[in-house]
Structure 1
Amino acid sequence: MRKRLPLIQKVNKAALLGLCLVASFFYRFNSKYRNIWLVCERGYEAGDNGYSFFKYLCQNHPEIHAFYLMDYSNQQDFNKVNSIGEVIQYGSFKHKILFILAKYLVTAHRGTIEPWNYQQYKRFCGFLSKNQKYIFLQHGITKDDVSNVLGRKQTSFDLFITGAKPEFDYISSTFGYHNGEVVYTGFARFDDLHSFKIKKQILFMPTWRKKLAWSNISDRAEMFKNTDYFRYYQSLLSNEELIRVLNQSGYQLVFYPHHEMQQFVDCFSTNAEHILIGNKERFDVQTLLKESSVLITDYSSVFFDFGYMGKPVVYYQFDSVDFFQTHYKRGYFSYQSDGFGPVFSEEQEIIDYIKFLVNSNFQIEDKYRQRIERFFTLKDQNNCERIFQSIIQLK
């Protein structure tokens, strides 16, 4: 019986695909389902480039038949998207039908918008949607060498959106894409980073570690507590001098680990009045980025958004050798010569620099401001418009 299971699963998948193909034929008679723009992020959220671009479509091009894919169980994000346009349950039968019918597939994450393996789908059923275009909005600016994941041989992207000029130069020259398949438009969400109110808040947002997030160890929490990742960050959160600085200055620190590390967020603790441990149910990343005065991170690409807003960034990289050996390969970006702030490996250096920023009213240093200006040669609220124009020009 076990040997027959894979065959049964394949038959069921083929039957479902066949049913979707038949249903899509009848959907084509409804003008609402012609020339569809299907937009997605991770499939259960709306707060990134996908949502920003969908909002732009709904507000500026109501003539376009645009649909946003997400799980209805995320009621907060569902209500937000549903108030501006039509939402389709992620993974539903209708998702699969609209995927077949869509003229444009627009996504912030690879491998989420497609209900089937896209390359196999195109191979066997591509004749049904031969003019379909796949647009990759990206989630964060690419700074490391991830050509083994996002290179042209590994993807089916017809258009690869970049958020900065050095990123565009790097991807278009080293990832194997043809001329015109990579464009520098700026990220869709950058349109919303020009108006914000800053609170007395420090955002501490480290990125993830592949070997921890994808560990197969049964007692993952216990494993995690024995890692340098936990020990270093818990130590900083418990630092008496940091707590004293926060109390005296009136600033609050929000510790918000990367999405992939949220599974371990309950391992961290604090008794400090001015330190909060942030989880994804309670906090919205874009709101945190806009309202915070300074960002402490290790390697998270959210520092690009923060720098774009002209606010100071601090890098805490206690494990850089291990990180670039086991997580990502170095790309074009050097934290030392291109970074938007100082790079530290010791806890005390972080404390000292926070005190420096408090005393300077959290003003970004000139040398870092100049680096940011060189990095973002486009800085306006026309990013979504440029993306839109790039899409409709696809042949």
Structure 2
Amino acid sequence: MYYINVLEQNSEFQLIIQKKIFETLNRIMVGNQSIDYGYSAYDEEYIAINFLDNQIFAVNTFHSLEFIDNDNNLIDVGLKTNGTYPFLYNNDTQGLLVSFDNELLIKFVKTFEVVQKLKRSNQFDTEIVSFYEVNNLIGIHFKEINKEQQKNLIVLAKKKEDNQYYYVPALFNSDEILIDQTYFSGKYDLHVLILVNSTLFKCSFMSPNKMVERDYISIFEGNNEDVDGVLDQQELLQMIDLDAKELREEETILVVDNIDIRDNSLSFEIANHEEYNPIFRNPILLLRKRKAEDLYLVEGKKNIAKFTFNFNAFLNDANGSNRWDLFLLRVGLAKKHTIYRLQCFEPLPEDKPTRFFNFFKQPVDIKSTYNQKSRLYITNKNELSLTRNNISNLIKEQLEIKTQIDKFSMKKNVVNIRIKMNTPYIDQFKTGSVYLVQRNKDNLLKKGYPHAHVKKHDTGSYIECQIDLLSEELFPLYWDVYLGVFYNDNEYLIRVSRVSKKVFKDIDSTISKYQLNVNNEYIIYPYITITKDLSFTFRKREYFENRYYLFKENIAYYFVNLFYRYFSEKDIWIGFEKLAMSAHDSGYHFFDYVYKNKKHENFYYVIRKGSPEEDNLKDKKDKILYFMSFKYFVYMFAARLLISSDTKRNSYNLSLKKSKLAKTLTDKKLVYLQHGVNGLKVVKDFYKNRGVFDLVIAPSEYEREMIIEHWGYDDSEVVTTGLARWDVLEDKTDEISYKQIFVMPTWRTWMDGMTKDKFLESEYFQRYNDFLSSSRLENLLKENNVKIMFFLHPKFKEYIDLFNFESDQIEKFGFLEVPLDEMIMKSSLMISDYSSVIWEMFYLKKPCVFFHFDRDKYLDYEGSYMDFDNDLFGDVAYDTETLVDIIESYIKNEFQEKQHYGQLRNEYFTYIDKNNSERIYQAIQENKDMLYKESNIRKWKLTHIIPFKLRRMGLSAINKLLKK
């Protein structure tokens, strides 16, 4: 056997091999791939080989490392010592070369994923029993560890100085490992882990001085033994057992000086620091959220009078716009704690901008106007607080900037606006360009337009700007107006808020006055947002957005007004679903129930002609309203009640907010049947203050409480009945000759309007495409007669053809290409991420799997009412390999639901029967007083103009016309 050496120099991994081996070397194989490599002379006898990072390998699994000579024979090479030797393969992938029993293996891992899993990983059933020192190494002895576990063992070090993670070389020796004693210098925290496939287990966490897990209780009770490191947030809160209300009554003042922000750390000095004498060495900074009882603790360092705190964990955990007051906490026994409100030593500066400190450096700094930043500031009471918000609002607050668009004109593609800016600090900054910024949580996409003129006035300045909407390539969907502000050598984008009454009336009172056609396919137009700001919409023109349909709508409006009494007596209900295209959700099933049981004579359903689901209504043709027909417009104006599993915009083009029907619809009452269970996603658009629903149907008491608490509805406005579509759900897995897995990911708001090229670059596409293209998955499906049905959310329907996989076991479908409920009933397992549809599978007592590869981003951008760590009713995968592992386990277990998930069903569902539609109908009847109100249709009295006989003839004609 030839022995090789491993060298890492300047973060570059090299294998050192003898020249005589290299001269016979034909190729190097990693798994079944021939890897590209570079080489150079190391010295006279050896060659240094480095792997090139232009190839992609499956992560979290072992690949054999083999050297093949010119005769296609295997060269017998190895390392003298068993162990793990880490190397950086590319920017986000770490390589681990493992030498084990004369075998060379390589495992590739994503460091980010490993770090994310640390908090969620399980404790491994072993423990460290002793340490010893030998030469420059520290030996770590385990109570019990087998060879396979040792082979999968990794050591991860977090450097305290910058919170960066590093893999540590480790040598194997029987039931112990040896690592360099450098990592026990006090500069690192160590995690000993076992990574089996994609599952991570924690063996131990070691603080650098004691080299054992810290006993927090003994420290708390007064053991002042020198302990370094940072305590976990939850451990701190549990250990100290804080009560926010009690603390509020215990505040005293502590004066601080020399406040400094460096990256994500805060430091300050306390002149009378003897007043603060913590029980254990590390001081605790307490942050208390304003107008709430939320607390956050940050453990720091104390060096005589100087205190330093790393805010990295807080910046990672904090969500939303909020304010926090800062205190030092002195922990006492028996909950007798003391908090010291931090007050600044210097007198309160009169110049408000100087009261604000630098921004903390975000752990992940997303370039978006939605990105939340945190900064300290001095309050009017000269106390230290922290504010968290987007850059626009933070700069506006600091410079006391108020804006208004007080002039607006648009001729063809040219928009002229004047921004009135008020601020007492106009001389402290300069104004830059005006920008249109795409409304996007994940990226900063802006188009700049230099201002034409700036004129100062007594309390600020006027900024005039001309925007050519065709000079820059805009794309869907929303573009907001921002102004560049240069302050302290940086340009910040601030949202231009509010419009004058004149501008509001001009833009908000018309439909098409300012619509600009682009290539006969798209339109651009200005509109006023809910918060009275000016924005622009760029979207595809719908086929019905023309004068013909507008004329038809207007005629229907006057027609209904003319015969309002006749229509008001008909008591018309109207049902519909998504985009007036579908008939399979709860909107349809409730309509079907009412029709077949003759519960309400004048209940009609809206559908587009040619919809794939029009056939579902073929036995109810007498109650169909074809979208955009004259009859449709008449009945929409005349409707007493709307009943749907979707919002009103799905029954009409509410982008035309100022059309007659759009205005009328805002007054119509809507019974919301629910599109699905909402626990997985925060939906602020459904909150009561948005005015979208009048009676909300809850699928369960669990969700009813959530709707009342979070959405803001009264008890009387939410009724628990179950979902109408659940009445028809049944298990149909026996109707097909194979086992079926249904894969249906939901959409992402931060991907709205994304081009196909950008979609191909997204993590969303790459993760699902990698999963569906997995050769391991393909073999698993073939060997077990299993098929995958892949279905994209309607908002992503145009991307379905981008998924490219060659497998007879996988089929892909777009919106309405297959009946969704049939797909669910015939499936044995469902995989989704955050889609509400997965609750249907759970309802049917079938196993569910959650693919949460972008969990942290999703929770940051969207949020959830459920605790993803404790409340989910299925297995969770964060990467492709784990997802395939889970599928394999369910195949082997014949797709049986796990017992502990099944036990959650009684908690999440109130009714499991076939009577949901009946309960919904009863709820509507019981709430008629609230749902029925006098129509806002103008009551024209034309009896003195139209003779009675003519009106009778008109009514007869109406009946004939509407029956067609």
Q: Which residue of 2 aligns with 1:323?
A: 858
Cα distance in structure 2, aligned partners of 1:35 and 1:243? 56
Structure 2 residue 742 is the aligned partner of structure 1 residue 203: yes
Which protein has the bigger strand share? 2
1:284 is aligned to 2:822: no
Which one of 901, 925, 934 corresponds to residue 392 of structure 1? 925
Equivalent in the alignment of 2:650: 112
Question: 59-68 vs 311-320, which deviates more?
Answer: 59-68
Q: 1:305 Cα deviation (Å)?
A: 0.7
Aligned match of 1:266: 801
Residue in structure 2 matched with residue 360 of structure 1 by the alignment: 893
Note the alpha carbon deviations across 1:109-135, whole angstroms, 9 max, x for none. Answer: 112235668899799769xx98x6321
What corresponds to 2:907 in structure 1? Answer: 374
Q: Secondary structure at the match of 1:230?
A: helix
Instruction: Tell me what 1:238 maps to.
Output: 773
- 1:319 offset after TM fit, Å? 0.6
Rounded Cα–Cα distance in structure 2 between residues aligned with 1:271 and 1:370:
39
**More deviation in 378-387 or 345-354?**
345-354
Paired residues of 1:254 and 1:276 also in contact (CA < 8 A) = yes
Residue by residue, what CA displacement relative to the aligned partner does 1:43-70 show, whole Å, maximum 9, x if unpaired? 1111111111110111112552111001
**8 Å CA contact retained: 2:573, 2:641:** yes
TM-superposed deviation, 1:341: 0.6
Q: Kindly indicate whether residue 639 of structure 2 is the aligned counterpart of residue 102 of structure 1.
A: yes
Tell me how far 1:335 sits from its aligned partner.
Answer: 3.0
Q: Are residues 61 and 141 of structure 1, via their aligned partners in 2, closer, same or farther at CA, if it must alter by over 3 Å?
A: same
Tell me whether 1:170 sits opposite 2:170 in the alignment.
no
Moved more, 34-43 or 140-149: 140-149
Q: Does 1:181 align with 2:714?
A: no
1:212 positional shift: 1.9
1:393 to partner: Cα distance? 1.3
Equivalence for 1:193: 729
Report the counterpart of residue 675 of structure 2 in structure 1. Answer: 139
Structure 1 residue runs without a partner (length 5+): none
Residue matched to 2:367: none
Distance 1:253 1:123 in 2: 42
Q: Partner residue of 2:582?
A: 45
Task: Work out whether 1:212 is the aligned partner of 2:751.
Answer: yes
Does the Cα contact within 8 Å between 1:27 and 1:33 map onto a contact in 2?
Answer: no
Paired residues of 1:78 and 1:87 also in contact (CA < 8 A): no
Distance in 2 (alpha carbons) for counterparts of 1:342 and 1:8 = 49
Higher Rg of the two aligned structures: 2
Q: Percent identity?
A: 25
Instruction: Tell me if the contact between 2:832 and 2:838 (Cα under 8 Å) persists in the aligned partners.
Output: yes
Distance 2:511 2:670 in 1: 31
Structure 1 residue 146: deviation in Å? 3.6
Amino acid of the structure 1 residue aligned with 2:845: G
User: Is contact 2:567-2:638 (8 Å) kept?
Assistant: no
Flag the 1:124–1:289 CA change in 2: closer, same or farther, 3 A.
Answer: closer
Q: Which residue of the partner structure matches residue 34 of structure 1?
A: 570
Distance 1:47 1:173 in 2: 30
Say yes or no: does 1:250 pair with 2:785. Answer: yes
Counterpart residue number, 2:443? none
One-letter code aligned to 2:707: I
**Equivalence for 1:159:** 695
Bigger CA drift: 85-94 or 223-232? 85-94
The C-alpha deviation readout for 1:274-324, integer Å capped at 9, x for no partner, is 111222353221111111100011111111111001000011111111112
- CA shift, 1:22, in A, is 2.6
For 2:731 and 2:599, locate their aligned partners in 1 and report how far apart those are by CA, in whole Å.
25
Q: Which moves more between the two structures, 90-99 or 50-59? A: 90-99
Letter in 2 for 1:386: R
- In the alignment, residue 650 of structure 2 is paired with which amino acid? T
Structure 1 counterpart of 2:948: none
Is the Cα contact below 8 Å between 1:37 and 1:64 reproduced in 2? no
Deviation at 1:94, TM superposition (A): 2.5
Distance 1:157 1:352, change over 3 A: same
1:49 counterpart letter in structure 2: S
- Tell me which moved more, 382-391 or 256-265: 256-265
How far does residue 93 in structure 1 lie from its aligned partner after superposition? 3.1
Post-superposition offset of 1:357: 0.8
Compared CA separation, residues 134 and 280, structure 1 to 2 (3 A): closer
Q: CA distance change for structure 1 residues 66 and 292 in 2, over 3 Å: closer, same or farther?
A: same
Distance 1:148 1:264, change over 3 A: same
Matched with 2:430 is: none
1:96 touches 1:115 (CA, 8 Å); kept in 2?
Answer: no
- 1:195 positional shift: 5.1
Pair 1:125–1:230, CA change in 2 (3 A)? closer
Number of residue-to-residue matches in the alignment: 385
Conserved? CA contact 1:105–1:134, under 8 Å: yes
CA 1:335–1:125 in structure 2 vs 1: closer, same or farther (change >3 Å)? closer
1:299 aligns with 2:837: no
Residues 214-233 of structure 1, C-alpha deviation per residue, up to 9 Å, x if partnerless?
23xxxx22111111111111
Task: Describe the SS at the equivalent of 2:869.
Answer: helix
Deviation, structure 1 residue 372? 1.9
Q: Cα gap change, 1:364/1:390 in structure 2, threshold over 3 Å: closer, same or farther?
A: same
Structure 1 residues 229, 207: CA separation in 2 closer, same or farther (over 3 Å shift)? Answer: same
Structure 1 counterpart of 2:850, which letter? Answer: Y
Aligned partners of 2:644 and 2:732: how far apart in 1? Answer: 26
TM-aligned CA deviation for residue 25 of structure 1:
4.1
TM-score, normalised to structure 2's length? 0.38
1:207–1:258: 8 Å Cα contact kept in structure 2?
yes
1:272 corresponds to which letter in structure 2?
Answer: S
Partner of 2:845: 310
CA contact (8 A) 1:33 1:101 kept: no
Runs (5+) with no aligned partner, structure 2: 1-410, 416-505, 514-546, 930-964
After superposition, residues 123-134 of structure 1 pair within 5 angstroms as: 133-134=669-670
- The 3-state SS of whatever aligns with 1:352 is helix
Look up the equivalent residue of 1:325 and give its one-letter code. Answer: D
The TM-score normalised by the length of structure 1 is: 0.88
- Distance in 2, matches of 1:250 and 1:383, equals 36
- What is aligned with 2:758? 223
Which has the larger share of helix? 1
Q: Secondary structure at the match of 1:105?
A: strand
Aligned to 1:149: 685
Contact 2:575 2:644 in 1 (8 A): yes
Aligned to 2:201: none
Give the CA deviation at 1:204: 1.1
1:209-267 per-residue CA deviation (whole Å, 9 max, x = no partner) reads 1222323xxxx221111111111111111111111110010011111121111211111
Cα distance in 2 between the residues matched to 1:383 and 1:275:
34
CA contact (8 A) 1:269 1:277 kept: no
Partner Cα separation in structure 2 for residue 39 and residue 343 of structure 1: 37
Instruction: Summarize the Cα distance change of 1:293–1:34 in structure 2 as closer, same or farther, 3 Å threshold.
Output: same
CA distance in 2, matches of 1:261, 1:122: 28
Cross-structure match for 2:882:
349
- Cα RMSD, aligned residues only: 3.0
The amino acid of 1:187's aligned partner reads L
Task: Provide the C-alpha distance between the structure 2 equivalents of 1:304 and 1:8, rounded to a whole number of angstroms.
Answer: 40
Q: Deviations over 1:12-44 (max 9, x none)?
A: 899876533331145557689701110011211
Q: What does residue 21 of structure 1 align with?
A: 557
Amino acid of the residue matched to residue 555 of structure 2? L
Structure 1 residue 55 corresponds to structure 2 residue 592? yes
Report the AA paired with residue 46 of structure 1: A
